[in-house]
Amino acid sequence: MNEQSGQVRELLLLLVVVFLFAGNILVGKAAANALPPFTLALSRAVIALSAASLFFGRAAWRNAAALSARKTQLFIIGASGIGLFNALLYAALHTADTTTVAVLEASIPIVTAIVMWVGFGEQLGRLGWAGVMLSAAGAVIVVSNGAPLQIVANASPGVLIMLAAIAAWVVYAVTARRGLMGLPPLAAMVPLSLSAVIALVPFAIAEQIITGFTDTITPRAIVSALYLGLGPSLVAFILYNRALLTIGPTPAALSLNGLPVVVMLLGFLFLGEPITIAHIVGTGAVIAGVTVVVKTRRGGARRRAPGLENE
């Protein structure tokens, strides 16, 4: 009974993770007029670095030798996954609705699976490829607003920017697969956040020059940056890594399938964004396809390397 209640508790914590990640998209959309995207991402990274240094600085110092030995990999991981991914996501939200961005973000496991197949020979099997096709079809339905043959005309510029964000995340995922192995995840948050700050500074400066150094210190900007720096960047990371250890990677990964649904509902309630039939059908297809692919990949990993489920 205690074990069952423990699993329920972990699933509830994962629900918090989903809402925090959903908040990353919703707050990014709401803050679009308050802060330019790279400046917003830099503000988030600076706050995350400050919090990580405060809470995990000692752990990072104790593991300084191990972290320094992988400084190049850690920089790539932090710059791509924490820095560029979020900056491009916020840029995409300037023209794309939150549901479209959430569905594309939820499709990341599909893109990652294809990259692992092309670059590393990781097999998906017929069931896995069926999941890829189903998820891709769902994404097309959402992006094209239910008119796949008119996807180019109906897709917003934000869709292309979000595809660039997905590419940044794939770089993160492929590098992190080995680059983070054996490192304490909380201690690694310090160099990862620092890498994101270093990578974003030149982009944010260029952005401010282009926009004429607009006044970005507003109450909305401050609240948005604090939420993004502490919620999705820190609390969600800790809770998700806890779930990886307690209930395993597959349930943890599958829990994130709820992200587009939560974003769609909250976007409707708080931002007044419409929910269309295309949103519902496409989101359902993406969730189903991602579920199949995640289960297929995890099953294959267990058969190839028993005992490495938490890789």
Chain centroid to Cα 81, Å, comes to 8
Q: Please report the pLDDT score of residue 4 as a whole number.
A: 64
Domain for residue 114, yes or no?
A: no
Domain for residue 294, yes or no?
A: no
CA atoms 301, 302, 303, 307: torsion sign: positive
Neighbours of 17 (CB within 10 A): 24
Q: Is the pLDDT of residue 2 over 80?
A: no
Distance from C-alpha of 100 to C-alpha of 248, rounded to nearest angstrom: 29
Domain for residue 106, yes or no?
A: no
Per the structure, the complete domain to which residue 90 belongs is given by: 2-97+155-282+300-304
Domain for residue 59, yes or no?
A: yes
CB environment 283-306: b (16+ within 10 A), e (fewer)? bebbbbbbbbbbbbbbeebeeeee
Q: Please report the pLDDT score of residue 166 as a whole number.
A: 96
Domain for residue 127, yes or no?
A: no
Average the pLDDT over 180-196 and give the result. Answer: 93
For residues 139 and 159, is the Cβ–Cβ distance under 8 A? Answer: no
Domain for residue 186, yes or no?
A: yes
Q: Is the pLDDT of residue 279 over 90?
A: yes
Domain for residue 150, yes or no?
A: no
Q: Of the segments 19-23, 120-124, 151-155, which one has the largest average pLDDT value?
A: 19-23
For residues 29 and 271, is the Cβ–Cβ distance under 8 A? Answer: yes
Distance from C-alpha of 190 to C-alpha of 192, rounded to nearest angstrom: 5
Q: Please report the pLDDT score of residue 3 as a whole number.
A: 60
In the chain, the number of structural domains is 1
Give me 303's structure tokens: 């058969």
From 279, 236, 235, select the one nearest 261 (Cα to Cα).
Answer: 279
Average the pLDDT over 42-59 and give the result. Answer: 96
Average the pLDDT over 270-292 and give the result. Answer: 94
Q: Please report the pLDDT score of residue 263 as a whole number.
A: 96
According to DSSP H, which parts of 144-276 are helical? 151-154, 157-179, 185-211, 219-230, 236-246, 249-255, 259-270
